C-alpha cells in the first residue's frame, strides 16, 4: 500500500512539472507541452508593451523591429519556469550577437528586490522586466507559465511554446534560425 501511494505521488509530481504553473488560482486550464507555429502572413502582430531600461529610458517592443525576439513569461515560484532558465540562458548566449533579443517577463507580485536577487543567484544575463499586475501577460493571453513567444523581425508572433519541454532549446533554436534567415 505504501508503495502505491509513493508511485501515485511521483506520477502527480511529474505531471505537475510537465503541465506548467497556473498563473492564477482561478484558472481551470491544464496545459501540456504545446507549440503553435504561425507562418508568413498568418502571423499575428505581437502586442506592444514598454519598459524602462537601466538608464530610465522607455523602450517598446516595437522598437525592436528588425530583430527576432524571444519572450519568456515566468515566475520565481514556478518549478517548470526554473527548469527552463538554463535553456533560455543558452539561447541568449548563442544568439545575443546575431540580432536576437531575449526578454524574460517576470510575473511575481511581491518585492522586486527578491526577483533581482533570484536573477543574480541564477546567473541570468538576459533582460528581465517585471509584470507584477500581469498587464503584459494579459495582452498575450498568458494563463499559465512558463510560456514563450518567438517574434519575427516584423513584430509578428511566429511561435508559441507552453510549459517545460526538455527539447525546448532545439525547438526554439530551429525557429530562431529560420526567422533570422527570412
pLDDT at 24: 38
Confidence label for 56 from pLDDT (cuts 50, 70 and 90): confident
Cα separation values, 158 from 27, 28, 69, 174, 180, Å: 26, 26, 10, 12, 12
CATH class of 2-180: alpha beta
| 59-118 pLDDT tens trace | 999 999 999 999 999 999 999 999 999 999 999 999 999 999 999 999 999 888 899 999
* Mean pLDDT rounded to a whole number for the chain: 83
* Per-residue confidence (pLDDT) for residue 39, from 0 to 100: 59
Catalytic annotation, pick one of 21, 61, 70, 81 = 81
- Cα 179 to Cα 10: distance, rounded to the nearest angstrom: 39
Kindly indicate the confidence band of residue 37, based on its pLDDT and cuts at 50, 70 and 90: low
pTM of the model: 0.79
Which residues does 157 contact at the CB level (< 8 Å), separation at least 6?
38, 43, 44, 45, 46, 149, 150, 151
Q: Determine the average pLDDT of the residues in 30-53.
A: 71
Task: Say which of 69, 78, 102, 124 is annotated catalytic.
Answer: 78
Query: Cell 529560420 sits at which residue?
Result: 178
Based on the residue annotation, tell me whether 21 is a catalytic residue of this protein: no
Domain coordinates of the chain in residue numbers?
2-180
Dihedral sign for Cα atoms in the order 21, 26, 30, 35: negative
Amino acid at each position: 500500500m505504501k508503495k502505491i501511494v509513493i508511485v501515485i505521488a511521483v506520477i502527480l509530481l511529474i505531471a505537475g512539472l510537465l503541465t506548467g504553473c497556473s498563473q492564477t488560482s482561478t484558472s481551470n486550464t491544464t496545459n501540456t507541452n504545446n507549440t503553435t507555429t504561425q507562418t508568413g502572413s498568418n502571423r499575428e502582430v505581437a502586442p506592444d508593451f514598454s519598459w524602462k531600461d537601466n538608464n530610465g529610458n522607455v523602450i517598446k517592443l516595437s522598437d525592436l523591429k528588425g530583430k527576432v525576439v524571444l519572450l519568456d513569461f515566468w515566475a520565481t515560484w514556478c518549478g517548470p519556469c526554473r527548469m527552463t532558465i538554463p535553456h533560455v540562458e543558452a539561447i541568449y548566449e548563442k544568439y545575443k550577437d546575431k540580432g536576437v533579443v531575449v526578454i524574460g517577463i517576470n510575473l511575481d507580485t511581491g518585492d522586486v528586490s527578491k526577483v533581482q536577487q533570484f536573477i543574480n543567484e541564477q546567473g541570468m544575463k538576459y533582460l528581465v522586466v517585471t509584470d507584477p499586475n500581469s498587464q503584459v501577460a494579459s495582452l498575450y493571453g498568458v494563463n499559465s507559465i512558463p510560456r514563450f513567444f518567438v517574434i519575427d523581425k516584423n513584430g509578428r508572433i511566429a511561435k508559441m511554446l507552453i510549459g517545460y519541454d526538455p527539447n525546448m532549446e532545439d525547438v526554439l533554436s530551429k525557429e530562431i534560425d529560420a526567422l533570422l534567415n527570412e
